[in-house]
Structure 1
Amino acid sequence: MKLTKLFDGQWPQTILFDLDGTLVDSAADLAAAIDQMLLALGREQAGEARVRQWVGNGAAVLVQRALAGCHDHDAGAPMDQATYHQALTLFFDAYHDHNGLHATVYDGIEDFLVRAQQQGCKLGVVTNKPAAFTDALLEQMGLSHWFGVTVSGDTLTVKKPDAAPLHHALAALGGDVGSALMVGDSVTDIRAARNAGVPVVAVRYGYNYGDPIDSLGAEIVVDSLAELL
């Protein structure tokens, strides 16, 4: 399906992108930091395959899931808060060293961004990743120059799936809900778009907690953004 079918034959005026799992495959970096954290706590490493299923709701939730060893961090015994805060500090220290070290830009992203710019689209990033890592990763991946705004998980007091980060990005770009699009890889992005009142394109290659994304209500689901061109 062509993207223009969502906007009466035109391109959207504003496109907001998720970061991890949508623009950049950063799971190897995140897994390395999580495993370093777990080793420092005397625990077994999780490995990249498991970490891929835990990414998407920000660093705090990722660390909680890693400590619990499962996606549902509320499962089992209540989490010891002292251990959690120690783990979060260890993770942040480790991720400062690993951020962007093994990450790659997904195929089709550059082609799509070039076309979007040619069409006059205003582009932004809305991620649940902490700001301390968002801009650094975009810079290291050579992507920062494409985006007029980045809204991170700690930019506001709420994060996706709340609508506020998307509305904040639209306001910063001078965009409006009626001509905006969200692009993401998880149910969190789809819910955020729904809450914000904008259509959403979902990509299959990202980190939707190990679950298929096709049946979650996105207007378009693709294997690569190049399919939209």
Structure 2
Amino acid sequence: MKTPKYFLEWFDGWPELVCFDLDGTLMDSVPDIAGAVDAFLEHFDAPLAGEQRVRGWVGFGSAKLIEQAMQWADLDPKHHEEAYRVFLIHYHQHLTDNTRLYPNVKAILKACKHHNVPMALITNKPSVFVKPMLDHFGLTESFAWLLGGDTLEEKKPSALPLLHCSETIEAEPEKCLMIGDSITDFRAANQAGFKCALVTYGYHQGVDLASLGADLLVDDLAELLL
């Protein structure tokens, strides 16, 4: 396989490390996340949020998601712990019921593996959910690192998770790539000194991705392999 044009332009070859976001980048997981949000809202006899509304909340981690949903439903913040517990139990039981891979996820992972590019999965999702989701889709073995939002002292948009991986293999940040779908991923990549590609189909939290100044916006991961 020839070296993709963007990799030639950015790295003069294949990157030394590629870090991937999970939700909204590799998988559309909102249907199952929304189900868990509605489960805790129903627990408190609150209105259900529904999938489309939850799409606008995802991306900052589960604790923040619960906080946003509680504010929307006008629930007392003192119930946050109980709401979070109900959310986690329901989500664990329905983790991949309606979650789906986006197009060409396996193609880009296969290409990077073929060219011996180390890959990391860096998400703000609680780490207890990460491996089971990847196992379900047969993706776990693609990654040298599986970092959830609670794995290290800091999570995205901190650069720490990205630099943790690059420093482990002594990769130069300017020769590393972060692929995500949100301002959270962009800020992490920017602070780490990584190149950043953002997918347009994910969870943008209402942010105009074109305004961020990422190195590339793509509608499909396959565009990175052209």
- Taking structure 1 as the reference length, what is the TM-score of the superposition? 0.91
Distance 1:171 1:100 in 2: 33
| Aligned alpha-carbon RMSD (Å) | 1.7
Distance 2:34 2:9 in 1: 36
Q: CA 1:196–1:8 in structure 2 vs 1: closer, same or farther (change >3 Å)? A: closer
| 1:14 has 2:17 as partner | yes
Distance 1:128 1:6 in 2: 30
Distance 1:211 1:179 in 2: 27
The structural deviation recorded for 1:7 is 2.9
Distance 2:77 2:221 in 1: 41
Name the counterpart of 1:74: none
Name the counterpart of 1:145: 141
- Residue 214 of structure 1 aligns to a residue whose secondary structure is helix
Name the counterpart of 2:129: 133
Distance 1:162 1:94 in 2: 29
- Residue 69 of structure 1 aligns to a residue whose secondary structure is helix
Q: Name structure 2 gaps, 5 residues minimum.
A: none
Q: Name structure 1 gaps, 5 residues minimum.
A: 71-76
- Residue 58 of structure 2 aligns to a residue whose secondary structure is coil
The structural deviation recorded for 1:175 is 3.1
Contact 1:151-1:169 within 8 A present in 2 as well: no
1:109 pairs, out of 91, 105, 119, with: 105
- Taking structure 2 as the reference length, what is the TM-score of the superposition? 0.93
- Residue 137 of structure 1 aligns to a residue whose secondary structure is helix
The structural deviation recorded for 1:170 is 2.2
Name the counterpart of 1:35: 38
Contact 1:149-1:172 within 8 A present in 2 as well: no
Q: Count how many residue pairs are aligned between Structure 1 and Structure 2.
A: 222
| 1:166 has 2:166 as partner | no
Q: CA 1:172–1:181 in structure 2 vs 1: closer, same or farther (change >3 Å)? A: same
- Residue 181 of structure 1 aligns to a residue whose secondary structure is strand
Contact 2:7-2:14 within 8 A present in 1 as well: yes
- Percent identity over the alignment is 39
Q: CA 1:5–1:69 in structure 2 vs 1: closer, same or farther (change >3 Å)? A: farther
Alignment of 1:1-229 (within 5 A): 2-69=5-72, 80-229=76-225
